[in-house]
Amino acid sequence: MNQRVKMIDGLRGFCLLGILIANMLIFQYGIFGKDNIETFALSMEDQIAYIWTKIFVEGSFYPIFMFLFGYSLMKMKESIARKGKKAGRHLIRRFLLLMLFGFLHSMFVWEGDVLLAYGLTGFFLLFFINRKKKTVLIWAILLFIGGTLFGFGEMDQTVEEAETMESYIQKETTIYSTGDYMAIFDFRNNEPIPFDLPKSFSIIVLLLTPIVTAPMFLFGMFAAKSNWFTTPTLMKKVYLRTSFLFVSIGLLLKSSPYIIDTPAWTEAAYMAGGTILAIGYIFTFALFYTKETGKLLSYFEQYGRLSMTNYLCQSIICTSIFYGYGLGGFANIGVFNGILLAIFIFSMQVLLSNLYLKYFKMGPFEKALRVGTYLSWSGKSKQTKPMKTAS
């Protein structure tokens, strides 16, 4: 395994730690409850932990996952092309499988799934796999600017809407903390969302998702086309300058809602800051690969090699801890303790990943995805044999 792949695997593992910490808010307080945290009586310790999570973690690790998806997509396309095959059909099968896994995950386990959206976005990315890297970068920047501008403006919540939201969160808290599996399943899939929106809205969201989420996927594709992480030892100064710039700007923008009470623009600044901070984190992590890597980074790499399996297991573990059919800890553990729990779960998964990889080359979900992608039990694309010519 070369240094570039090590760095990508390590970044994937690091990213999943951040995702788990961010998702703790959803596991504990629900999709809508996490953004209406005043509904819950948080201690001062938990309020500080909540703000820390919102600034440093939430909205800045899923974008890294998007970046890695785009990066890996290009490397996979190049690998398939070297074997004399067309990448399109392989990628389409991969995207369909991701959508299937995501649908099953969100339907039967947890509503915070991202695999369905990633698979859907993959079809949009097909338009860019054969484009020049400059074209990909321009589209990434334009879509990022467009998405940021779209976020400007203040939407005032009416008293009736606030009451509807509070009622929804209270009902969710009761069902998720005490209900059995079927009660939670029914609420997750059938309870109307607490917004007065037309039925066509969900279709519009589905169609817009690939465009809204595309920038970081495209940045990842651009990075792969530009070989950003092929020779990290020669890029230390670039990584250092870029990480400092993007981390500083990202943290400033993400802090704005807690410094200035102007929701009309701070919400858009927060969203943009999430993406910018994600880029800063990527280059900060890359800095560790500009010198000889140690044992600590190898743990992230092993975790990253089983990224899909570990991601799905995070949902199974945490729903078992927080939901009524498990330990029933929903809204009871607290934000700070949730962060500690996330680190503990991640550490246990790291140890299990290390043990697992001593006996197997890939995780069960990674294996299933590769088998379906390449239509080969080995999970590898076979090289096309050159046609024989008559002598």
Q: What is the pLDDT of residues 121-178, one digit of tens each?
A: 999 999 999 999 999 999 999 999 998 988 787 667 788 888 999 999 999 999 999 9
Could you give the CA distance from residue 186 to residue 232 in angstroms, rounded to a whole number? 49
Is 275 a domain residue?
Answer: yes
Is 386 a domain residue?
Answer: no
Question: In the predicted model, what is the mean pLDDT of residues 68-88?
Answer: 91
Q: 199 pLDDT band (50/70/90 cuts)?
A: low
What is residue 251's DSSP assignment?
A: H
Dihedral sign computed on CA atoms, order 23, 25, 27, 30 = negative
**92 close to 123: Cβ distance less than 8 angstroms:** yes
Could you give the CA distance from residue 23 to residue 29 in angstroms, rounded to a whole number? 10
Could you give the CA distance from residue 151 to residue 270 in angstroms, rounded to a whole number? 10
How many other CB atoms are there within 10 angstroms of residue 53's CB atom?
21
Q: How confident is the model at residue 234, as a pLDDT? A: 83
Is 215 a domain residue?
Answer: yes
Check whether 390 has a pLDDT greater than 60: no
Query: Helix, strand, or coil here: 1?
Result: coil
Q: Which long-range contacts (CB under 8 A, 24 or more apart) does 54-58 make?
A: 54/254, 54/258, 55/251, 55/254, 55/255, 55/258, 56/251, 56/254, 57/18, 57/21, 57/22, 58/22, 58/25, 58/274
Q: How confident is the model at residue 232, as a pLDDT? A: 81
Is 21 a domain residue?
Answer: yes
Altogether, the residues listed in the chain come to a count of: 391
Is 382 a domain residue?
Answer: no
- Here the tokens at position 148 are 């940021």
Could you give the CA distance from residue 42 to residue 7 in angstroms, rounded to a whole number? 38
The total number of structural domains in the chain stands at 1
Least confident of 150-164, 247-261, 289-303, 333-347: 150-164
Is 383 a domain residue?
Answer: no
Average pLDDT, the chain: 91
Q: How confident is the model at residue 349, as a pLDDT? A: 98
Check whether 291 has a pLDDT greater than 90: no
Question: In the predicted model, what is the mean pLDDT of residues 25-36?
Answer: 96
Q: Is the pTM of this model over 0.85?
A: yes
What DSSP line would sit under 40-95, residue for residue?
S---HHHHHHHHHHHHHTTTTSHHHHHHHHHHHHHHHHHHHHHTT--HHHHHHHHH
Could you give the CA distance from residue 353 to residue 346 in angstroms, rounded to a whole number? 10
Full domain range(s) for residue 327: 3-374
Percent with pLDDT over 90 in the chain: 75
Give the alpha-carbon dihedral of 26, 30, 34, 36, to 10 degrees.
Answer: 180
**73 close to 129: Cβ distance less than 8 angstroms:** yes
**243 close to 284: Cβ distance less than 8 angstroms:** yes
Question: In the predicted model, what is the mean pLDDT of residues 292-304?
Answer: 87
Is 101 a domain residue?
Answer: yes
Is 379 a domain residue?
Answer: no
pLDDT in tens, 235-280: 899 999 999 999 999 999 999 999 998 887 898 999 999 999 999 9
Could you give the CA distance from residue 297 to residue 49 in angstroms, rounded to a whole number? 26
Could you give the CA distance from residue 135 to residue 226 in angstroms, rounded to a whole number? 12
How far is C-alpha 233 from the chain's CA centre? Answer: 27
Q: How confident is the model at residue 387, as a pLDDT? A: 47
Question: Quick one: 87 exposed, middle or buried, by C-beta within 10 A (0-12, 13-18, 19+)?
Answer: buried
What is residue 259's DSSP assignment?
A: H
Check whether 391 has a pLDDT greater than 50: no
How many other CB atoms are there within 10 angstroms of residue 51's CB atom?
15
